[in-house]
Amino acid sequence: MAKKQLTLEAELESITPLFALLEEMLQGEEGKTVRQILNAAEEIFVNIASYAYDQGGTVDISVEILPEPHRICLIFQDEGVPFDPLSRGEVDTTLSSAERKIGGLGILMVKKMMTSVAYQWEYGKNTLTLERNLTKKDGQL
């Protein structure tokens, strides 16, 4: 099965090759699923680009299509400040617009759009693993 890796500068503007790679690897998958995966990948990349490093650094990303169940596995690794995005408290989605606070929404969206999300701190790296089950456009697994 296909596996690709890329290393990007941890800066917001550097995300384009990741979008291109995901679109290439997800060709033939349902449009909605593809857009949700791009959306989740963006949220994670932006978090790393915004908070991991004080003075710049890189993000290693691996993208793999796996069988049984047919799914995509995305791994993000950075050597920035140890931070488990999953440890944040849940956002209160019932508050009114006046009471709503900014922040935490990206991770909430990622958790809801992905089949699984896991964080590990290993070998001095933040490692975030996202998986999303896939269904081919024609409905066949």
Partner 1 sequence: MTITKNQQGTDLTIALEGRLDTVSTRSLEAELKSCLEGITALRFDFNQLEYISSAGLRVLLSAQKVMNQQGSMAIFGTNEEIDEVFEMTGFCDILTVEK
Interface contacts to partner 1, rule CB under 8 A: 12-13, 15, 32, 35-36, 38-39, 42-43, 46, 91-98, 100, 102, 105-106, 108-109, 112-113
Task: Tell me how far, at minimum, the Cβ of 43 lies from partner 1, in Å.
Answer: 6
Residue 76: closest CA among 102, 104, 103, 57: 57
Beta carbon nearer to partner 1, 68 or 99? 99
Task: Tell me how far, at minimum, the Cβ of 53 lies from partner 1, in Å.
Answer: 17
Beta carbon nearer to partner 1, 34 or 63? 34
Residue 106: closest CA among 63, 22, 49: 49
Task: Tell me how far, at minimum, the Cβ of 116 lies from partner 1, in Å.
Answer: 16
Tell me the CA distances in angstroms from 41 to 17, 67, 97, 128, 131, one per residue in order.
12, 20, 26, 11, 11
DSSP 90: P
Task: Tell me how far, at minimum, the Cβ of 101 lies from partner 1, in Å.
Answer: 10
Contact 132, 33 (CB under 8 A): yes
Beta carbon nearer to partner 1, 56 or 121? 56
